[in-house]
Amino acid sequence: MKIWVPMDAAARACGADAVAAAIVAEAERRGIAVQILRNGSRGMLWLEPLVEIETPAGRMAFGPMTPADVAGLFEAPETHPKAQGLTEEIAFFKRQTRLTFARCGLIDPLDLDAYEAQGGLAGLRAALACDPEAVVDEIAASGLRGRGGAGFPTGIKWRTVLHAKATPKYIVCNADEGDSGSFADRMLMEGDPFCLIEGMTIAALATGATRGFVYIRSEYPDAIRQMRAAVEIATLAGVIGPSIMGHPQGFDLEIRVGAGAYVCGEETSLLNSLEGKRGVVRAKPPLPALEGFMGRPTVVNNVLSLAAVPWIMAHGAQAYHDIGVGRSRGTIPLQIAGNVRFGGLFETGFGITLGEIVTEIGGGTASGRPVKAVQVGGPLGAYHPVSDFGLPFCYEEFAGQGGLVGHAGLVVHDAGADMLGLARFAMEFCAVESCGKCTPCRIGAVRGVETLDRVAAGDRAALPLLEDLCNTMKLGSLCALGGFTPYPVLSALRHFPEEFTPVQEAAE
Ligand SMILES: Cc1cc2nc3c(=O)[nH]c(=O)nc-3n(C[C@H](O)[C@H](O)[C@H](O)COP(=O)(O)O)c2cc1C
Ligand code: SF4
């Protein structure tokens, strides 16, 4: 009997380890030989811990499991109260286009043979057969844009590093994942770490980089452990190290742990942190692509951008470009969170509407109350009301509506949400997380909190001041932390003005 129990941090937080132990104990008690395999998460977080039993028809899912549910697995699994049918037939799973997350939850994340058997290393082999310019061309033609937030074309960034004269060159993976409601980077690193290593190695071949770093937030101990183990296995197997699978170029990879500041996800601040300095934002230019880590040409890419690369190289740029709409090509791993019935990771082509994501896929709120607002793109993303539900999930369309796709985290709020409180929280978050380098952000965020407190206290004069302050932060901040904090504030004000109406006016 082969049973899969996820070792993903979300599943473990819901008791996966205790469930695994209960399965071992129950099997021993019954004298049944059981092979327990620990996989990544399938991304259906409301079902975690999601246990799967291998059957000739496919893997049967059971969840959310508790140790008390385990005995039933050995009796009549088909009629088990937690039986969900075949995992890949569950509507949430079946509707996805899983390219980047194709293997996540499917295999033992540290089994390199299983990785290869499921299509792993095909992209790297394809890259090894091309010259660097051809690899860059392929990534550019795919239309892949940075999944870390800014949506910058990945091919253009790589081309800049390829043509830079200085050496050595570096590949830095941004795995700081500080956005609220985001967990795709973590899930990928825990569930399919070789995919990220392969993507980084292809980036190294494409640009001539010989050293790489994965910068992971300290709050992700499981991902850190998993990535370290995977790097060791890949090095021993000769995938990376002094030679990339027999190629004259080598690529050494190191895992670095951040100390936990939101701003260290900003690429220049991250580079300072990697160099052992305080995580303060650097002015651009120079671009990190020309003067990045230690002043050398550096690719800084998000986990999801790099993890999309092996699929593109294995299947061709056109196949990736065929998915999506407009200038938003390929798939986007949505992270559906907050007050939602079916929270989890849903990878799909760009173009799906916000309403489809929240209502059809997410199933509406967990509380059963109407949806009031959805914050998209992390703490700097706008609050979208239900009237925005027709908006297609694409970079340009969200920007046109005063929002951003960001890292594609969505946090759903129900009718009970306090929009003034959430706007205040945005300013407070910025005040706490500001690196302090520029005045509009450092001082503006503190003044923003004070101004919103005045609004809450019924001060009529505070509202125009708030809008003025937001414009100053938008236009005058050095980086997007100060520059985008006005988005949640102004969107809350625009869509829910009644909640910002001074109390005496509301009473009139
Ligand atoms: C305050 C702030 C926080 C950020 N946090 C992250 C993060 O956690 N992860 C990430 O990949 N990008 C983050 N970014 C974006 C990075 O600066 C950068 O655009 C990204 O790593 C580039 O990779 P990409 O092109 O693959 O998206 C952040 C930006 C800002 C301004
Ligand atoms: S906007 Fe804020 S975080 Fe960004 S550089 Fe200025 S002070 Fe630092």
Task: Summarize pLDDT for 406-435 with one digit per residue, the tens.
Answer: 999 999 999 999 999 999 999 999 999 999
Mean pLDDT of the residues in the chain: 96
Q: What is the per-residue pLDDT across 306-338, written as a single tens digit (0 to 9) for each?
A: 999 999 999 999 999 999 999 999 999 999 999
pTM given for the model: 0.97
Cα(146) to centroid(ligand 1), Å: 9
* pLDDT band for position 506 (cuts 50, 70, 90): very low
pLDDT for the residue numbered 196: 98
Using a 6 Å cutoff on CB, does residue 261 contact ligand 2?
Answer: no
Kindly report, residue by residue over 175-208, the tens digit of the pLDDT. 999 999 999 999 999 999 999 999 999 999 999 9
pLDDT, mean of residues 33-38: 97
Distance CA 25, CA 123 (A): 41
Residue 108's Cβ-side half-sphere holds a number of Cα atoms within 13 Å equal to 12
SS3 label, residue 150: coil
Give the C-alpha separation, 195 to 251, whole Å: 15
Tokens of 366: 């967990």
Q: How far apart are CA 42 and CA 346, in angstroms?
A: 10
284 lines ligand 2 (CB under 6 A): no
Ligand in nearest proximity to the CA of 152: 1
The residue with tokens 């399965």 is 23
Q: Is 132 in the pocket of ligand 1 (CB under 6 A)?
A: no
Could you give the angle at the alpha carbon of 383 between the alpha carbons of 382 and 387, nearest 5°?
120
Report which bound ligand comes closest to the CA of 283.
2
Strand, coil or helix: 288: coil
Strand 2-6 with 35-39, pairing:
parallel
Report the separation in Å between the CA atom of 278 and the middle of ligand 2, taken as the mean of its atom positions: 13
Q: Is 160 in the pocket of ligand 1 (CB under 6 A)?
A: no
**pLDDT band at 460, cuts 50/70/90?**
confident
Structure tokens at 384: 């979208």
Give the burial class of 109: count Cβ atoms within 10 A of its Cβ; 0-12 exposed, 13-18 middle, 19 or more buried: buried
The arithmetic mean of pLDDT across residues 291-296, rounded, is 98
pLDDT confidence of 501, banded at 50, 70, 90? confident
Q: Residue 260: what pLDDT?
A: 83
pLDDT grade for 505, boundaries at 50, 70 and 90: low
**Beta 252-257 vs 211-216: how paired, if at all?**
parallel
60's enclosing H/E stretch is strand 58-62
| Side chain identity, residue 181 | G
343-394: per-residue pLDDT in tens? 999 999 999 999 999 999 999 999 999 999 999 999 999 999 999 999 999 9
Q: Which of 145, 173, 174 to mutate to test the pocket of ligand 1 (most atoms within 8 A of CB)?
A: 174
